[in-house]
């Protein structure tokens, strides 16, 4: 057996990217929903995508035509490079890849956490690092910053390391969420807007979700919120309040839709559009 470095958050994200890399066709309706929320309002706009991954939810050929610059930020450089090549935009001057980039600010700190009890003091140190971490990425000043179902992935990756039952996990989760929303808002230029795509619930919490029609998505969302069958911290109220604390002033919640990942596996998503002023 070869003994190598401890797995990191970036390693886990790379594994997830590889597992969904061939699902381009399944993502088509999801891509269209996202595109409807991020269409530029004028020529010459610059967009930054946080946690772009393997880009199955992004039509890169459309993005480089619609925007003057497309900046993709992720922890996994291989995923970005393969996506650009697969979608035929590798080498396009309008496409800028920023990887590896740590959207949690604690990938190095948590590298040795897997498989052991993490001490309270270690989590406290991680919380302080998250709060202190620079929240503006890729230079900032963007007309549009997109976070496509990234926050839940950041939470899940760290939660697997620290443990859901750890007494310090709620505080660390709050810090990671606040930093991510700050990153969206502070990376915007004057007159810019942020768009967060939120995966509110899944077939695990709502059995049969994959069979819901588009016209039923709003009713499913209302039921999930009423019964508590959703990912805590991702409901519209929490998202808008979090963005407000991050400095956003205007908020718009989109109609929800069902995102199909595989047979009998789906997520209920919605979009939050925010503006700093």
Q: Does residue 124 lie in a domain region?
A: yes
Q: Does residue 19 lie in a domain region?
A: yes
Contact 45, 189 (CB under 8 A): no
Count CB-CB contacts under 10 A for residue 211.
11
Contact 81, 107 (CB under 8 A): no
Contact 268, 256 (CB under 8 A): yes
With a pLDDT cut of 90, the percent of the chain lying above it is 87
Contact 96, 67 (CB under 8 A): no
Tens of pLDDT, residues 20-58: 556 799 999 999 999 999 999 999 999 999 999 999 999
pLDDT tops 90 at residue 16: no
Number of structural domains found in the chain: 1
The closest of 113, 132, 133 to 123, measured between CA atoms, is 113
Please give the residue range of the domain that contains residue 102.
9-275
Strands 265-275 and 250-253: antiparallel
Q: Does residue 2 lie in a domain region?
A: no
Report the pLDDT value the prediction gives residue 17, as an integer from 0 to 100. 45
**CATH number, position 18:** 3.40.50.150
Report the pLDDT value the prediction gives residue 13, as an integer from 0 to 100. 47
* Phi, psi angles (nearest 5°) of residue 232: -60, 135
């Amino acid at each position: 057996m070869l003994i190598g470095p401890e797995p990191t958050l970036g390693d886990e994200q790379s594994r997830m990217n590889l597992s969904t890399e061939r699902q381009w066709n399944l993502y088509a309706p999801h891509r269209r929903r996202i595109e409807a929320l991020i269409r530029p309002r004028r020529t010459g706009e610059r967009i930054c995508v946080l946690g772009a991954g393997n880009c199955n939810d992004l039509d890169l050929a459309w993005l480089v035509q619609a925007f003057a610059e497309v900046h993709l930020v992720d922890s996994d450089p291989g995923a970005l490079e393969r996506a650009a090549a697969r979608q035929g935009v590798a080498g396009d001057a309008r496409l800028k890849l920023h990887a590896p980039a740590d959207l949690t600010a604690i990938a190095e700190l948590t590298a040795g956490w897997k498989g052991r009890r993490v001490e309270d003091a270690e989590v406290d140190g991680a919380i302080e690092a998250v709060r202190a971490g620079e929240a503006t990425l890729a230079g900032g000043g963007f007309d549009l910053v997109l976070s496509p179902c990234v926050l839940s992935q950041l939470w899940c990756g760290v939660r697997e390391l620290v443990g859901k039952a750890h007494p310090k996990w709620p505080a660390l989760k709050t810090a990671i969420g606040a930093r991510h929303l700050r990153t969206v808002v502070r990376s915007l230029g004057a007159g810019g807007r942020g768009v967060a795509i939120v995966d509110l619930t899944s077939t695990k919490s709502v059995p049969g979700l994959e069979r819901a029609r588009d016209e039923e998505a709003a009713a499913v969302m209302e039921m999930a919120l009423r019964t508590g069958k959703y990912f805590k911290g991702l409901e519209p109220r929490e998202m808008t309040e979090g963005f407000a604390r991050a400095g956003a002033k205007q908020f718009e919640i989109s109609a929800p839709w069902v995102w199909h990942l595989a047979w009998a596996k789906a997520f209920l998503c919605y979009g939050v559009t925010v503006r700093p002023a």
